[in-house]
Structure 1
Amino acid sequence: MSFAPQIKIPATYMRGGTSKGVFFKLDDLPQGAQQPGRIRDQILLRVIGSPDPYGKQIDGMGGATSSTSKTVILSKSTQPEHDVDYLFGQVSIDKAFVDWSGNCGNLTAAVGAFAISNGLVDDAQIPENGLCTVRIWQANIQKTIIAHVPMANGQVQEMGDFELDGVTFPAAEVQIEFLDPADDGEDGGAMFPTGNVVDQFEVPDIGTFDATFINAGIPTIFIEADALGYKGTELQDDINSDAQALARFEKIRAYGAKFMGLIQDVSESAQRQHTPKIAFVSAPQSYTASSGKEIGNADTDLLVRALSMGKLHHAMMGTAAVAIGTAAAIPGTLVNLAAGGGEREAVRFGHPSGTLRVGAQAVQENGQWIVKKAVMSRSARVLMEGWVRVPADTLQ
């Protein structure tokens, strides 16, 4: 019996924020994967090592968590006044499924650096030293993101002294601006899909909760921690070791997706694992982060824990941080109330790995809340570059 050989595909393995992913240039992909569809998904699944019934992704580049089962495809932008088109694929670990429904805010921090280093940004706009401004078109959500990438001697500066909780080593700071991050109605309606900053939300056989549903950065459901029986100081093992709790969160998320208008029936949530996110919030409390770092009451404005792809995230998804910053800026949301209420342009929240600051500019126009932009700092680094290999029959 003969077996198909492996093929090589140019790729770069990068950390962006608290995530890692495999980055590709669109025109480096095999012809059949240069457009959306089955061949593209098959290749990305094989690269990452999914579906894996063992849940380890041993035979691929994935790290068996939602933060490390990610792929990015970049190309010169087809949009006016943009440099690069950014397409993100969240790869399921145990299912043959790539979710294209949302962005990855963490890997956004690596997009500008990759684009500069791989010829996707015009040389004329790249300074020898200082900051290079890269305008990114986020193709999944049809939004503009601006990355300010530090340059040193004509090269992307990766090393620095910026520390990000959830990342072991310091690196160079990359400031990210998410312009007009709220949904414009394409996928689930306006920023508040129900028109309310807080809704009564009933989940059969589980209960009725106050909830804030928001489309900003990524569709997100916020519920108060104590309504779910939690304190808000929980770490990963407190949630992820409890199969019953995870099933309850997934059911709440499925009904929340329907409540937001993202799906028509709760059964569809199985094919939409990446969005919406579900998070729970509480007022500031002291706790010990997963690194052993002590977080005091005065270190945060509120605490937030969020789930991604069915598990509690080890830190915070970048897109969910945008949702947190946006909701915190709007009086009356559960996030805003947990932070003490009132108007604010920035918030520092506690997550399982430490703290993060995110800012958002919100204004009322004609009685509707509008968010002009959300801003946060991340870092990024190339971990490996060269080729990934997949069996040739993956293209069939």
Structure 2
Amino acid sequence: MSNAPQMRIPATYMRGGTSKGLFFRLDDLPEPCRVPGVARDRLFLRVIGSPDPYGQQIDGMGGATSSTSKCVILSKSTRPGHDVDYLYGQVAIDSAFVDWSGNCGNLSTAAGAFAIHAGFVDPALVPENGVCTVRIWQANIGKSIIAHVPVTGGQVQETGGFILDGVAFPAAEIVLEFLDPAEEGEAGDSLFPTGNPVDELDFEGRRLNATLINAGIPTIFVNAADIGYCGTELQDDINKDPEALARIEALRTVGALRMGLIRDAGEAARRQHTPKIAFVAPPTDYVSSSGKTVQAGEIDLLVRALSMGKLHHAMMGTASVAIAAAATIPGTLVNLAAGGGTRNVVCFGHPSGTLRVGAEAALIDGRWQVTKAVMSRSARILMDGWVRIPACIFE
């Protein structure tokens, strides 16, 4: 009996913000994978090394965390006013599931850089030296993202002095603008799917305050103190406690039901990427995961967020958009944790350090609307060539 050789597929491995993922040109994929469906999901699962009952993704490109279990497809945009279409898949680690329900804000940075690398941006619009504006259509959620990518010698500048907490080495700064980041459709037609900046959730036999917001990614915010935390927790404080993880997942399920994202509690396990859940607290001194002390005076509030059932090592880019939007609107739990009042910029503390984000919001006809959120990230190609997978996955 003979075995077929492995398939070779052109791919680029990139870091974007505090995440990493495999980037593919749509036209480079095997033909059955150029459209949504089982074949595409099987490809991404095998590339990343999932499902892995050991939780390590040893036989794939994944890094056994939600931040490194990601795939991206890019193509020349057919939408007016855009350069590139960007589709993102969050690959589960221990189950055969690819979640297409949301965006990755960190890899949005790399999508802007990759668009230039891949020739999706009109060469006439790429300066010899300066900043190239890349107009991204985020296909998962149907939103526009503008990436301001530095260029030197007509090529993406990847090295520089910009420091991003959660990334060990400096790089060139890329500024992202998330335009009209409030999601529409299944989760409601407004920034707040319930119409309220604060709701009460029934949880563990009591009423728990929560801000449920659709900006960047659907997110549930609760007060850290209300669930027994202080907001200075690091990954091991949460991720090594199975009971704590199960409890937070139960709360995420309650919030997802209230937001209209799932019809019953059983659907939560099949929708791991969204909504996110985060807890907030007023600023206080703490020691980050790198050993650096973050002073209370450096930040406006503390935020800890979970991704794919685990506390994130830093902060998801899409959740950062949600934080910026919620901080801008008076009365949300995020705004109150930051001291209340009106603001358009907030600096928050996360497990790896701090992040400054901004947003513009206005009260129009009695409803809050966020026109854009802004943050800085960085991106870099780590490797490019071919990724290899057993051809038998399509049998």
Corresponding residue number in structure 2 for 1:164: 164
| Shift of residue 3, structure 1, vs aligned partner | 1.9
1:289-328 to 2 correspondences below 5 Å: 289-328=288-327
**What SS does structure 1 have at the residue aligned with 2:67?**
coil
For 1:212, the equivalent position in structure 2 comes to 211
> Is 1:243 aligned to 2:246, yes or no?
no
- The residue correspondences of 1:165-244 to structure 2 (distance < 5 A) are 165-203=165-203, 205=204, 207-244=206-243
Q: For 1:114 and 1:134, how far apart are their aligned partners in 2?
A: 10
Q: CA deviation at 1:112?
A: 1.1
Name the aligned partner's letter for residue 58 of structure 1: I
1:49 touches 1:61 (CA, 8 Å); kept in 2?
yes
SS in 1 for 2:58: coil
- In 2: Cα distance, 1:292 partner to 1:270 partner: 34
Deviation at 1:185, TM superposition (A): 3.4
Secondary structure of the residue aligned to 1:214 is: strand
**2:66 aligns to what SS in structure 1?**
coil
Report the counterpart of residue 36 of structure 1 in structure 2. Answer: 36
Is 1:32–1:395's contact at 8 Å kept on the other side of the alignment?
no
Q: Residue type of the partner of 1:393?
A: C
2:370 is paired with a residue of what secondary structure?
A: strand
Quick one: distance in 1 between partners of 2:221 and 2:341? 18
- Shift of the alpha carbon at 1:299? 0.8
Q: Residue 258 in 1 paired to residue 257 in 2?
A: yes
Q: How many residues align?
A: 395
Deviation at 1:167, TM superposition (A): 0.1
Q: Aligned partners of 2:185 and 2:51: how far apart in 1?
A: 33
1:288 aligns with 2:287: yes
Q: Which residue number corresponds to residue 362 of structure 1?
A: 361
Structure 1, unaligned stretches of length 5 or more?
A: none
- Superposed counterparts of 1:1-396, under 5 Å: 1-203=1-203, 205=204, 207-396=206-395
Identity %: 70
Q: Partner letter of residue 263 of structure 1? A: I
Structure 2 residues without counterparts, runs of 5 or longer: none
**Using the alignment, how far apart are the partners of 1:267 and 1:155 within structure 2?**
48
Query: Could you tell me how far apart the structure 2 residues matched to 1:99 and 1:180 are?
Result: 23
Distance in 2 (alpha carbons) for counterparts of 1:188 and 1:64: 33
Letter in 1 for 2:320: A
CA contact (8 A) 1:206 1:248 kept: no
Deviation at 1:187, TM superposition (A): 3.4
* Maintained 8 Å contact 2:187/2:193: no
Matches of 2:26 and 2:185, distance apart in 1 = 28
Q: What is the Cα deviation at residue 190 of structure 1?
A: 1.5
Q: Give a deviation string over 1:91-136, Cα, whole Å, max 9, x none.
A: 0000000000000000011011111011111111111110000000
Q: Distance in 1 between matches of 2:113 and 2:264?
A: 40
Q: What SS does the aligned partner of 1:121 have?
A: coil
CA contact (8 A) 1:189 1:261 kept: no
Find the aligned partners of 1:275 and 1:188 in 2 and give their Cα distance.
Answer: 14
Provide the C-alpha distance between the structure 2 equivalents of 1:187 and 1:40, rounded to a whole number of angstroms: 26
Does structure 2 conserve the Cα–Cα contact (< 8 Å) formed by 1:349 and 1:355? yes
1:207 deviation in Å?
A: 3.7
Secondary structure of the corresponding residue to residue 67 of structure 1: helix
Which secondary structure does the structure 2 equivalent of 1:131 belong to?
Answer: strand
AA at the equivalent of 2:379: A
What do residues 246-291 of structure 1 show as CA deviations (whole Å, max 9, x unaligned)?
A: 0001111111111100111111111100000000000000000000
Q: For residue 137 of structure 2, give the secondary structure of its aligned residue in structure 1.
A: strand
Q: For residues 193 and 322 of structure 2, what CA distance do their matches in structure 1 show?
A: 14
- Letter of the 2:361 counterpart: A
Q: Normalized against structure 1, the TM-score is what?
A: 0.99
Following the alignment from structure 2 to structure 1, what is the Cα–Cα distance between the partners of residues 54 and 389?
20
- Cα distance in structure 1, aligned partners of 2:205 and 2:256: 16
* TM-score normalised according to structure 2 size: 0.99
State the 1:381 CA deviation. 0.3
The code of the aligned residue for 2:194 comes to T
Partners of 2:100 and 2:78 in 1: CA distance? 19
Deviating beyond 4 angstroms after TM superposition, the runs of 4 or more aligned structure 1 residues are none
Instruction: Write the letter of the residue equivalent to 2:166.
Output: G
Given that 2:9 and 2:386 are in contact with CA atoms closer than 8 Å, whether structure 1 keeps it comes out as: yes
Structural RMSD (CA): 0.8
Instruction: Tell me the amino acid that sits aligned with residue 242 of structure 1.
Output: D
Distance in 2 (alpha carbons) for counterparts of 1:285 and 1:102: 32
Letter of the 2:280 counterpart: V
CA distance in 1, matches of 2:115, 2:302: 34
What is the identity, as a one-letter code, of the residue corresponding to 1:42?
R
1:206 deviates by: 5.8
1:382 match: secondary structure: strand
Look up the SS of the partner of 2:356 in the other structure. strand
Cα contact 2:17–2:377 (8 A) shared by 1: yes
